Structure 1
Amino acid sequence: MTTALPGGDEHAPRWLTDDEQRVWRAYLHATTLFEDHLDRQLQRDAGMPHIYYGLLVQLSQAPHHSKRMTELAIDAKITRSRLSHAVARLEKKGWVRREECPSDKRGQNAVLTAEGFAVLRKAAPGHVAAVRQAMFDRLSPEQVRQLGEIMGIMAEGLQPQGSGADLPWLR
């Protein structure tokens, strides 16, 4: 639908064109399938969901394999509550531990354990293969460049401005 609602409301929504609707639905379909593909691969091969893998990666790349819980929530784009639950599950597996934050007694750090790092090292080759097979092997180098540019533009436009942004991972 490309026209405004009856009555000539100047504040009517700008409906998606047929082409935009097609692209939007293709995007939703592909991203849902892609996330499911990665989640199933990691569950099958490493016994963890994709979100847990992402948390382990974040910690593995942090100085001393440690990151404040608040920062980890922001980087993972998940609520602090969801992060707390995920870290509790990772603690039960022995892959992460919590420590008091030395600079702020109210804060906690999540720390990747040696066992967690070993699990991540074992899971990484299969995960990279799944990403490569599902995405990069299907695209030409030019399409990869374009996709990176497009995703960068979208992320920049969605990035919150200012400290008052109402984002779930800041709550």
Structure 2
Amino acid sequence: MAEATAAPEVFATEAAEAFVEEGHGGAPTHAEPELFGLAPFQVVSIAMFVLLLIAFFGAKVHKTIAGGLDSKIAAIKDQLDEAKQLRAEAEALRNEYAAKIAGAEKDAEAMLANAQHEADAILEKAEADSKAMVERRKRMAEDKIAAAEREAVEDVRNRAVNAATAASRKLIAEKHDADADRSLADKVIAGI
């Protein structure tokens, strides 16, 4: 049991020797960690200072970025509003032109129907006028023919009368003398 009660044996290493400083009676001391030659509290102070700088200037940058984004959002919103307004105007214009086109198509159909009606009326009038003109010319021709016939008949009558008168004079001159004329005149007077 003597062996069991003995303290465990600790092996000394070179690392353990590094913690031993002279002048303290050979007792080991704890070495403080360092970063770039700064003690831990100095590193923490610098980190806090940097964090405060970032927070201070970062808040201003954040506000600047937020302000820039807000202005961009407002500009985009204005552009969207303008686009909506332009779209509404374009739709209104499109509807107006669609109505005008529909009206123009109706007007064109009405004009076409009116033109067809006028063309039919003009054609009917032209047919009636041509019939009337043919009838007038026919009447004029018939009148000319009738006038020519009357003139011809009149001419024939006049020639017949002239011929008859000439023949009568000749016959009367040959067959009647002064005594026959007196007896004829007496008969006529007695008959009255």
Normalized against structure 2, the TM-score is what? 0.20
Higher relative contact order (CA 8 A, sep 6+): 1
Larger radius of gyration: 2
Whose strand fraction is larger, Structure 1's or Structure 2's?
Answer: 1
Normalized against structure 1, the TM-score is what? 0.22
